[in-house]
């Protein structure tokens, strides 16, 4: 029996199947993926939640009154002791659909804003990641493959971008564009549009993708199969698309979760500084900013979005590490300056 099995032709698995099988056995990575997917699903359900809770998370509702256990409770409670100074938003009711996490200083449902905020944070981080990967990959491919003056010009441009501290550059670009938007020829992005933070975050991280990609393309450019294709007269664009791009795909895939995590942090920081997502729209950064003035009385308003950012970023990083180990254990791709 054993000799018969040994004699059967063995079916070998492809590299992708091997990688995914390996990833599937990485419990930390899979758990992180599950956590992140739950967060994504919850955030994408924001409009449904707001409709179900009959709440408008973008309008001031300072005079709203809600019912808790049959009793009318104002969303903004005025101090009744002493001088009667100040209003405090209602705290968590722990009732889904009825100010579960309480209200912010505008009387808005924090839970609904948290979901909408997450939606915006994910959309911005996701779109900025796609933007960075497309532009960074193009720059890396062109610079690495064509070399010479093309490489010199592109590499120096990337060096200039690389030379600025990321947050300083992002903040500067945001401040310049925040009030008036951007108008370059026929392209016009109005202030307040989510495209502004997407493009700004996308731009500042281009060197982080382009430089390692350029290095890989430079190595592939002089590999035997590429030299053979060149000698056979295969056009350059075809070599890039058919021979080189497939060989850097794993690197690009590994970049996705890691860039997402970085972009989420950057978006939150910009929004916290009022130069990302603009009110009354929400992002986790803007909700933390709103909650800053309530830290003493309603700390959850700032803590919950902070926790959401921390969990999402950690999940993406752990998943990204697992993905890298599964796809290319020898890869040296790390996000950072060294």
Partner 1 sequence: MKKLLLAASAAALLAGSWLAPAHAEYLKEHRGGTIRLLARSAAGTLDPHINYTDQGWQMYQPIYDGLVAFRKAEGVEGFSVVPDLAEALPTVSNDGKTFTFKLRKGIKFSNGQDLGVKDVVASFQRIFKVSGPTSGTFYAGIVGADKCLADTKSCTLEGGVVADEAAGTITLNLTKPDAEILYKLALPHAVILPADTPAEDMGSKPIPSTGPYMISAFDPNKGMTVSRNPNFKQWSEEAQPDGYPDVVQYDFGLSEEAAVTAIQNGEADWMFDALPSDRLGELGSKSMDQLHISPLSAWWYAPLNTRMAPFDNEKARQAVAYAVDRNTLVKLFGGKVLASPVCQVLPPDFPGHEDYCPFTKNPGAKWSAPDVDKAKQLVEESGTKGQKVTIIVEDTAISRSIGVYLQSVLTNIGYVADVKPISSNLQFTYIQNTNNKVQMSVTQWYKDYPAASDFLNILFSCASYREGSDASINISGFCDKDIDAQMQKALDLGVTDQKAADKLWAAIDKQVTDKAPAVGLFTPKRLDFVSKRIGNFKFNPQFNWIITQSWVQ
What residue ranges bind partner 1 (CB under 8 A)? 58-60, 62-63, 76, 78-79, 81-88, 105-106, 175, 178-180, 191-192, 274, 278-280, 292-298
- Give 189 or 218: the residue with its C-beta nearer to partner 1: 189
SS3 295: coil
C-alpha triplet 68, 70, 76: angle, nearest 5°:
40
- Give 191 or 249: the residue with its C-beta nearer to partner 1: 191
Query: What's the closest the beta carbon of residue 85 comes to partner 1, in angstroms?
Result: 3
- Give 194 or 252: the residue with its C-beta nearer to partner 1: 194
Question: What are the residues whose beta carbons fall under 8 Å from the beta carbon of 294, sequence distance 6 or more?
Answer: 89, 104, 105, 301, 302
Query: What's the closest the beta carbon of residue 212 comes to partner 1, in angstroms?
Result: 36
Taking alpha carbons only, the member of 184, 201, 189 closest to residue 275 is 201
CA diameter of the chain: 92
Cis ω on the peptide bond leading into residue 280 (within 30° of 0)? Answer: yes
Using CA atoms, how far apart are residues 268 and 125, in angstroms rounded to an integer? 10
Using CA atoms, how far apart are residues 23 and 131, in angstroms rounded to an integer? 26
Query: What's the closest the beta carbon of residue 106 comes to partner 1, in angstroms?
Result: 6
Query: What's the closest the beta carbon of residue 151 comes to partner 1, in angstroms?
Result: 40
Query: What's the closest the beta carbon of residue 279 comes to partner 1, in angstroms?
Result: 5
Query: What's the closest the beta carbon of residue 167 comes to partner 1, in angstroms?
Result: 16
Helix axes 110-146, 27-44, angle to 10 degrees: 120
Q: Per DSSP, which regions of the chain are E strands?
A: 65-68, 71-74, 76-78, 87-89, 182-184, 187-189
Query: Using only C-alpha atoms, what is the Rg of the chain?
Result: 25
Query: What's the closest the beta carbon of residue 172 comes to partner 1, in angstroms?
Result: 13
- Give 62 or 335: the residue with its C-beta nearer to partner 1: 62
- Give 82 or 336: the residue with its C-beta nearer to partner 1: 82
DSSP structure class, residue 13: P
Measured over the CA atoms of residue 266, residue 267, residue 268 and residue 274, the dihedral's sign is: positive
- Give 20 or 87: the residue with its C-beta nearer to partner 1: 87
- Give 298 or 324: the residue with its C-beta nearer to partner 1: 298
Measured over the CA atoms of residue 134, residue 136, residue 141 and residue 142, the dihedral's sign is: positive
Query: What's the closest the beta carbon of residue 310 comes to partner 1, in angstroms?
Result: 23
Contact between 269 and 197 under an 8 Å Cβ cutoff? The reply is no
- Give 113 or 324: the residue with its C-beta nearer to partner 1: 113
């Amino acid at each position: 029996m054993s000799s018969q099995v040994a004699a059967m032709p063995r079916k070998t698995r492809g590299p992708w199947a091997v990688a995914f099988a390996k990833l599937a056995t990485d419990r930390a990575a899979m758990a992180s993926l599950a956590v992140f997917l739950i967060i994504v699903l919850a955030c994408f359900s924001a409009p449904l939640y707001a409709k179900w809770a009959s709440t408008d998370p973008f309008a001031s509702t300072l005079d709203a009154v809600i019912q808790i256990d049959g009793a009318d409770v104002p969303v903004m409670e005025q101090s009744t002791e002493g001088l009667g100074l100040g209003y405090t938003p209602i705290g968590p009711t722990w009732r889904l659909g009825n100010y579960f996490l309480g209200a912010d200083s505008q009387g808005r449902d924090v839970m609904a804003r948290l979901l909408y905020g997450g939606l915006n944070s994910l959309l911005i981080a996701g779109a900025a990641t796609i933007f960075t990967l497309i532009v960074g990959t193009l720059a890396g491919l062109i610079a690495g493959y064509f070399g010479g003056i093309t490489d010199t010009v592109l590499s120096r441009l990337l060096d200039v971008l690389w030379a600025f501290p990321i947050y300083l550059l992002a903040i500067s670009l945001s401040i310049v564009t925040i009030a008036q938007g951007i108008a370059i020829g026929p392209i016009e992005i109005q202030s307040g549009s989510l495209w502004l933070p997407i493009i700004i975050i996308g731009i500042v991280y281009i060197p982080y993708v382009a430089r390692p990609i350029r290095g890989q393309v430079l190595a592939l450019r002089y590999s035997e199969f590429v030299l053979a294709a060149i000698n056979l007269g295969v056009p350059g664009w075809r070599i890039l698309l058919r021979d080189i791009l497939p060989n850097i795909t794993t690197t690009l895939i590994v970049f996705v979760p890691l860039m997402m995590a970085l972009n989420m942090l950057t978006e939150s920081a910009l929004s916290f500084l009022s130069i990302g997502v603009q009110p009354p729209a929400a992002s986790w950064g803007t909700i933390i900013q709103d909650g800053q003035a309530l830290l003493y009385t309603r700390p959850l308003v700032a803590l919950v979005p902070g926790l959401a950012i921390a969990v999402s970023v950690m999940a993406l990083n752990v998943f990204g590490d697992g993905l890298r180990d599964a796809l290319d254990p020898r890869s040296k791709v790390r996000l950072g300056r060294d």
